[in-house]
Amino acid sequence: MESQHVAEVFTQLYGSEPEGVWAAPGRVNLIGEHTDYNDGFVMPFALPHVTVAAVSRREDGVLRLHSQDVPGGPVELRVEDLAPGSDRTWTAYPAGVVWALREAGHALAGADVHLASTVPSGAGLSSSAALEVVVALALNDLFELGLPGWQLARLCQRAENVYVGAPTGIMDQTASACCESGHALFLDTRDLSQRQIPFDLADRGMRLLVVDTQVKHAHSDGEYGKRRAGCERGAALLGVDALRDVPYAELDAALERLGDDEEARRLVRHVVTEDERVERVVSLLESGDPRAIGPVLTEGHASLRDDFRISCPELDLIVETALAAGALGARMTGGGFGGSAIVLAEEADVPALTKAIEAAFAAADLTPPRVFEAVPSPGARRLR
């Protein structure tokens, strides 16, 4: 996205040039789904798609927010009036960040903000996190708050959990704030310790495709929260702080203890095996064997479909079709119930695979999916 253009629109809207322009990316998650609110492991990487913000400070307690993607002029709010649950529109995300920063004791008098995004919304690619993180980073720089990326991510998560009211984990915001080009981020969501894992598929003759089903989902609508509550219940039944504390080697014993509580058994089995899959993918990548991660991704899909039960027919169709057409591995990515799938493939197989997926959607009379290649891209940054 052209930062020059975003700055020009800001100048037209607000009558003076912005003090700066920032960008924060969307993400895909390679492996580690619904593990973040269980204190577990995740492994996202940043997309080239970004939300860009042109921002200037104000000293008069006013916050003006404008988005290129929403019709109408800037929305004007008073920072003192910002209150959790008071806003059900898109402005809750950036306003929630201002609220969270002020709650944490940072003196922010106000700001003018203009936003533009290339991150598809509702596609499970973290457009909300990109929006939160870009605003947090801009304010961090302009008001010289000196907060590191992981701390901005925590504040953005608080904005989303408390201000917007969506009970999400910490993965998406950390990915947007901390990812690096050419790498996937191995993140321990318990203490936010992280390791950048080189993930350059093009070098090895492979590609990772994102297939957006164009089926919309919403985290604030019950199912995500139900899974989260179910996992917390499972941890309580097993007497641990979080499911992360159930070692993979002790999974069978833990399942035994849950007896015929089928619901708890399924959720626990997914989370414990998924953490193990993340560790397996890390060691395969670190030992230079990226092709071998394919089956691990596919195993992850089966677990999300059968145990966690958050897939949908469109996502299953992508995975089945991709595997039948020779993909190395495939799985849904993100929160589930729609959104996107990822497909790992040999470069030479990409055209045939894409065709096969498109044909399968057409045959099932579904809206054509959007297919693009995902290249691990940089995290949030200042553009000018």
Q: Which chain residues interact with ligand GLA by CB under 6 A?
A: 29, 33-34, 36-37, 168-169, 171-172, 219, 334-335
Tell me the closest approach of the beta carbon of residue 317 to ligand GLA, in angstroms.
21
Tell me the closest approach of the beta carbon of residue 279 to ligand GLA, in angstroms.
16
Q: Which of 173, 206, 241 is nearest to 379 (CA)?
A: 173
| 3-class secondary-structure state, position 165 | coil
Tell me the closest approach of the beta carbon of residue 323 to ligand GLA, in angstroms.
22
Q: Closest CB to ligand GLA belongs to which residue?
A: 169
Comparison of 112 and 160: residue with beta carbon closer to ligand GLA: 160
Question: Which is it for strands 340-346 and 329-333: parallel, antiparallel or unpaired?
Answer: antiparallel
Comparison of 335 and 338: residue with beta carbon closer to ligand GLA: 335
Q: Is 172 a catalytic residue?
A: yes
Comparison of 124 and 294: residue with beta carbon closer to ligand GLA: 124
Could you say which DSSP state residue 341 is in? E
Q: How far apart (Å, rounded) are the C-alpha atoms in residues 335 and 312? A: 12
Bridge partner list, 382: 22
Tell me the closest approach of the beta carbon of residue 311 to ligand GLA, in angstroms.
12
Tell me the closest approach of the beta carbon of residue 82 to ligand GLA, in angstroms.
22
Q: Which residues of 311-338 are buried (b: 16+ CB within 10 A; e: fewer)?
A: bbebbebbbebbbebebbbbbbbbbbbb
Tell me the closest approach of the beta carbon of residue 187 to ligand GLA, in angstroms.
11
For the beta sheet containing 75-78, the strands, ordered from the edge strand earlier in sequence to the opposite edge, are 75-78, 62-67, 111-117, 44-57, 20-29, 381-382
Q: Are 180 and 316 in contact (CB under 8 A)?
A: no
Comparison of 11 and 121: residue with beta carbon closer to ligand GLA: 121
Comparison of 3 and 214: residue with beta carbon closer to ligand GLA: 214
Q: What tokens were used for 334? A: 């993100």
Q: Are 212 and 370 in contact (CB under 8 A)?
A: yes
Comparison of 79 and 281: residue with beta carbon closer to ligand GLA: 281
Q: What tokens were used for 22? A: 């920032």
Q: How far is CA 156 from CA 100, 104, 145, 181, in A?
A: 7, 12, 15, 22
Please tell me which residue in 172, 212, 275, 349 is annotated as part of the active site: 172
The set of residues, in sequence order, having a beta carbon less than 8 Å from that of 165 and lying 6+ positions away, is 84, 85, 220
Comparison of 14 and 37: residue with beta carbon closer to ligand GLA: 37
Q: Give the sign of the dihedral formed by CA 260, CA 264, CA 268, CA 271.
A: positive
Q: What tokens were used for 26? A: 């969307």
The DSSP result for 210-252, as a single string, is EEE------TTSTHHHHHHHHHHHHHHHHT-SSGGGS-GGGHH
Q: Are 196 and 320 in contact (CB under 8 A)?
A: no
Tell me the closest approach of the beta carbon of residue 36 to ligand GLA, in angstroms.
5
Question: Which amino acids are annotated catalytic?
Answer: 172
